């Protein structure tokens, strides 16, 4: 008996809450099921893995197979007086996992609080916030490779991490399904408060706790980012662009107040939200979609069921920013435009 179903609505499985349908759909409850169903799954060359649905935009319905993993569990792999290594199933909620670590005095992830999505999506996107990126903690990522039907284990180097990027993200769509992520965390806190809002808040505090960092990050994110359940969105829609030293100096001449962060290779990471705001788009509405009033990096869906209108808004933002700064913003959100026949 087949576990694959057909014409499944995706409205509640994406945080933009746009109307879309999966032509074919399979929910995966275990790695064993994955192995059993592999031959049938392989018959669908057009496939995608859908996790929490918090980093995707369905412009059309999906004319292929959506693989929806529901893999749960957290296990201790190794423990020393200084560190703990955990193996976490891919469908665990990321924010809840951060809380799990905080409650047990496993430190390092407190800056990554309230990032939507699953643990399995974290290495794919190489999530990061407030001066911390998840690649710093990942030891291995277990994947199922649909091109070979084999389970593989990628070490940190093999993941090919980049800014909001990884080899898993760069691979052909639907090739890999992350089943587990292993991370090493510290039992001693090394506070990261380099980002301006944290630095300002903790400037007179010499005994910072992980809980204080966690609480402040949650507060900052809630101030800027709308709750997808209250106002549908996919978090930061665009990547922060990285420019050369020369480019940065040219921009500085025209825009001395530009928000930028120096990188180790003499390049600069620009705040995409600032660029969008400076282009006059913050808080603007376009029909039933718009740019969020508190954080210009977030595109929101007020009451539109059509993902095409969100894509048109993204294209408008890209165009306006390019006209002003000669910089092309790249979406951080994955955009799916596979029309059903």
Where is the domain boundary, 69, 84, 109? 69
Same domain assignment for residues 313 and 254 = yes
pLDDT at 197 over 60: yes
Listed as own residue / partner, the contacts of 192-197 with beta carbons closer than 8 Å and 24 or more positions apart are 192/111, 192/130, 192/131, 192/132, 193/131, 194/131, 195/130, 195/131, 197/130
Whether residue 64 has pLDDT greater than 60: yes
* Contact in structure between 46 and 174 (CB atoms under 8 Å): yes
Which of the residues are catalytic? 164, 236, 332
User: How many structural domains are present in the chain?
Assistant: 3
User: Do 60 and 162 reside in the same domain of the chain?
Assistant: no
pLDDT band, very low/low/confident/very high, at 206 (cuts 50, 70, 90): confident
Average pLDDT over the chain, rounded to whole?
Answer: 95
Residue 300: is its pLDDT beyond 80? Answer: yes
* CATH code at position 109: 3.30.465.10
pLDDT score at 337? 81
pLDDT (average), residues 318-341:
86
Q: What is the pLDDT of residues 213-268, one digit of tens each?
A: 999 999 999 998 999 999 999 999 999 999 999 999 999 999 999 999 999 889 99
Q: Which domain holds residue 61?
A: 5-69
- Residue 206 belongs to a domain: no
**pLDDT given at position 341:** 35
| Both tokens assigned to 247 | 């480019």
Report the pLDDT averaged over residues 194-212. 91
Summarize pLDDT for 77-129 with one digit per residue, the tens. Answer: 999 999 999 999 999 999 999 999 999 999 999 999 999 999 999 999 999 99
Tell whether 213 is covered by a domain: no
33, 71, 75 from 28: Cα distances, Å:
7, 7, 20
- Helix ranges restricted to H, 10-138: 31-42, 94-103, 121-125
* Rounded percentage of the chain residues whose pLDDT exceeds 70: 99
The DSSP string of 265-315 is: TS-EEE-HHHHHHHTT-TT-EETTEEE-SS-TTEEEESS---HHHHHHHHH
Establish if 249 belongs to a structural domain.
yes
> CB neighbours of 336 closer than 8 A, spacing ≥ 6?
48, 56, 57, 58, 59, 60, 62
Kindly state whether residues 175 and 277 are assigned to the same domain: no
Coil, strand or helix at 338? coil
- Determine, yes or no, domain membership for 191: no
* Proportion of the chain above pLDDT 90, given as a percent: 90
Using CA atoms, how far apart are residues 96 and 55, in angstroms rounded to an integer?
18
Residue finishing a domain among 69, 93, 121: 69
Residue 227 falls within a domain, yes or no?
Answer: no
């Amino acid at each position: 008996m087949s576990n694959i179903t057909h014409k499944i609505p995706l409205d509640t499985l994406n945080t933009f809450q746009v109307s879309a349908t999966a032509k074919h759909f399979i929910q995966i409850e275990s790695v064993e099921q994955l192995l059993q169903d592999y031959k049938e799954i392989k018959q669908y060359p057009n496939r995608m893995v859908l996790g929490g649905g918090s980093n995707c935009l369905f412009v059309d319905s999906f004319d292929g197979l959506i693989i929806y993993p529901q893999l749960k569990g957290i296990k201790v792999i190794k423990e020393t007086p200084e560190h703990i290594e955990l193996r976490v199933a891919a469908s665990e909620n990321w924010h809840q996992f951060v809380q799990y670590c905080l409650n047990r005095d496993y430190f390092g992830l407190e800056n990554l609080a309230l990032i939507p999505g699953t643990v399995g999506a974290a290495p794919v996107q190489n999530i990061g916030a407030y001066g911390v990126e998840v690649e710093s903690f990942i030891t291995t990522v277990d994947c199922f490779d649909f091109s070979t039907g084999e389970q593989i284990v990628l070490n940190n180097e093999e993941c090919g991490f980049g800014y909001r990027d990884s080899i898993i993200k760069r691979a052909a769509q639907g090739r890999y399904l992350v089943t587990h992520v292993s991370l090493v965390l510290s039992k001693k806190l090394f506070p990261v408060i380099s980002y301006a809002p944290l630095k300002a808040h903790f400037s007179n505090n010499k005994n910072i706790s992980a809980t204080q960092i966690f609480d402040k990050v949650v507060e900052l994110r809630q101030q800027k980012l709308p709750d997808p359940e209250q106002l549908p969105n996919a978090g930061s829609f665009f990547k922060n662009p990285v420019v050369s030293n020369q480019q940065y100096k040219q921009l500085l001449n025209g825009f001395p107040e530009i928000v930028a962060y120096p990188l180790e290779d003499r390049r600069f990471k620009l705040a995409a939200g600032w660029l969008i705001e400076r282009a006059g788009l913050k808080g603007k509405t376009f029909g039933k979609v718009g740019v969020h009033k508190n954080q210009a990096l977030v595109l929101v869906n007020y009451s539109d069921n059509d993902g095409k209108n969100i894509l048109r808004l993204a294209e408008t933002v890209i165009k306006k920013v390019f006209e002003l700064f000669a910089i092309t913003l790249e979406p951080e959100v994955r955009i799916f435009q596979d029309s059903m026949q």
